[in-house]
Amino acid sequence: MKCQYCEKPATFHITEITEPSGSQVMHLCEEHARGFLQKEEANPVASIASALAKQLDLGQTKKDLEELDQKACPVCGISFFEFRNTGRLGCPFDYSHFAADLLPLMTNIHESVEHVGKRPRRSAAADSQALMIQLRREMEEAVEREDYERASEIRDELKRMEQAEEGANES
């Protein structure tokens, strides 16, 4: 889709709901979005504009986002594109894998990158779950490569981990 003011591709799509049944849709390129935001700063109802301004301050251009969208987690396989669309990460390892890309986003949303709340009691279980997900993925890749010895080693390791987890849950 093209910008409604020029021929550049639209990277910002703004829908403003005016009345109960009416809405106005704007499709803007990055340059016109910046100009729109500067005009809207005088308007007291500029919450959407200020949110977009924060996004533009992150310094991510369309090219940067396209490169970032290709990045995928080696454990669960979720891409950054999927995360941006769903708003959910795939596994605990994603936080460390996408750390550099999530820090500006977390700072923008929460105005902090430090957690100061409660933590789950079973955080060690989450770590073992992530490891098991990674091992299952490696096992599938080994089968695809027809490396059946490695696949059986991984299968045995997964069985040991599952039995250890069952034993810990019973006690």
The verdict on 105 and 140 lying in the same domain is no
More confident call, 114 vs 131: 131
Are residues 73 and 87 located together in one domain of the fold?
A: yes
66 and 34 housed in the same domain: no
The pLDDT assigned to 101 comes to: 82
- What does the pLDDT read at residue 46? 45
pTM (two decimals): 0.37
Q: What is the pLDDT of residues 80-108, one digit of tens each?
A: 888 877 888 888 888 888 888 888 777 77
**84 closest CA partner among 102, 110, 111, 109:** 102
Q: Is residue 91 part of a domain?
A: yes
**How many residues are listed for the chain in this entry?**
171
Same domain, 35 and 68: no
Instruction: Tell me, yes or no, whether 2 lies in a domain.
Output: no
The answer to whether residues 105 and 70 belong to one domain is: yes
Q: Does residue 7 belong to any structural domain of this protein? A: no
Residue-level pLDDT at 4: 84
8 Å CB contact between 2 and 8: yes
* 106 and 66 assigned to the same domain: yes
What does the pLDDT read at residue 151? 95
Average pLDDT over residues 65-92: 84
Together in a domain, 46 and 67:
no
Task: Give a yes or no: residue 66 inside a domain.
Answer: yes
Q: How many domains does the chain have?
A: 3
CA distance linking residue 91 with residue 119, whole number of Å: 16
pLDDT, position 150: 94
The residue written with tokens 């999530």 in the block is 102
In terms of residue numbers, what domain contains 133? Answer: 123-170
The residue-averaged pLDDT of 70-89 equals 85
